[in-house]
Structure 1
Amino acid sequence: MQQKITPCLWFDTQAEDAAKFYCAVFDNSRIRTVSRYGEEGHDIHGMPAGSVMAVEFELDGQLFSALNGGPLFKFSEAISFQIRCQDQAEVDDYWAELTADGGEEGPCGWLKDKFGLSWQVVPTALYDMLTGDDHAASQRVTKAFLQMKKFDIAALERAFEGESV
């Protein structure tokens, strides 16, 4: 079955570079199609004929579109993508790859990549700690992660157990 809803990411002129970057970060990913601007509509879009208009790509089976729409719109933290990670090595790998070459670390597992797109790199264990029946443990975990940039699973587990972080 074809995916019904596809996120579309608006770039100035970096759609293809971004798609290639994201495909390199995530396993089982590929660029599916690249379309180019023609002469038609140049008075509206202003892009050179032959330049990349849109890229359709998959990240681990999730379909995305990237559009070179010009400098009118920029990314903000109001939209981000969550990456659920099974262990610290996976958290560390995604964090390093997505903050490389000009990306920025943010608080509480958030980061911006070099294109300005926001990501949340979150260990699945955090969801379990925050949604369990032990409210006090959940609050300790929240207090601990509010002090972090990249999540440290061992420190979160210590907070959950009531140990010093």
Structure 2
Amino acid sequence: MQKIVTNIWYTDNAAEAAVEWYLTLFDDAKVTSTIPYVEDEHGTVGNAMVVNFDLAGQSFTAINGDDSAKHDHAMSLLINCDTQDEVDRLWDAFLANGGSEIQCGWIADKWGVNWQVWPTEADQYVGGPDKESAVRAVKAMYAMKKIDLQALKTAYEGG
């Protein structure tokens, strides 16, 4: 069992729908358990109160709650991508399902959960050993919503 698990709060009984959609994004995703409401003070008896699930080997808990808590990008889920194609596929999937672009690789899904879709190769440009080159890459990143790996590389190399 994973010692620390990210718990994501959903309003409007959206936990199951959100998890079902997240499962379509990753090949190795699965629901591990569901805990139903057993009383009707906070939800309908039998409906999911909690959905435990795994994405890419990481455990999460989705909980149906009231609207007292809101998501913002101060806490986000980082998806390390191996290629620009993976970045594009995930970014497009978030947008097609009602998501909204933020900036610098951040995107909110339709439930307001914030994600970072990041090509791991970008680290060598925005954090590269040549400070002037890295500054150019970071400035290029600040102008982006979806990360464009080739544009970061071009900026790093002085283009």
Rounded to whole Å, the distance in 2 between the matches of 1:16 and 1:118 is 17
Counterpart check, 1:10 vs 2:6: no
Q: Which of the pair has more CA radius of gyration?
A: 1
Distance, in Å, in 2 between the alignment partners of 1:162 and 1:109 is 22
Residue 23 of structure 2 aligns with an amino acid whose one-letter code is: C
RMSD of Structure 2 on Structure 1 (CA): 1.1
| Shift in Å, 1:76 | 1.3
1:47-80 alpha-carbon deviations (Å, 9 max, x no partner)? 1211210000000110000001122212111110
Counterpart of 2:34 in structure 1 is 34
How is 1:127-146 mapped onto 2 (pairs within 5 angstroms)? 127-146=123-142
Runs of 4+ in 1 over 3 A off after TM superposition: none
TM-score normalised by structure 2 residue count = 0.95
Q: How many aligned positions are there?
A: 158
**SS of equivalent to 1:49:** coil
1:73 paired to 2:69: yes
TM-score where L is the length of structure 1:
0.91
Q: Is the 8 A contact 1:107 1:149 kept in 2?
A: yes
CA drift at 1:121: 0.8
The within-5 A match list for 1:70-149 is: 70-149=66-145
Residue 88 of structure 1 and its aligned partner are, at CA, apart by 0.9
Q: What is the percentage of aligned positions where both structures have the same residue?
A: 39
Higher helix share: 1
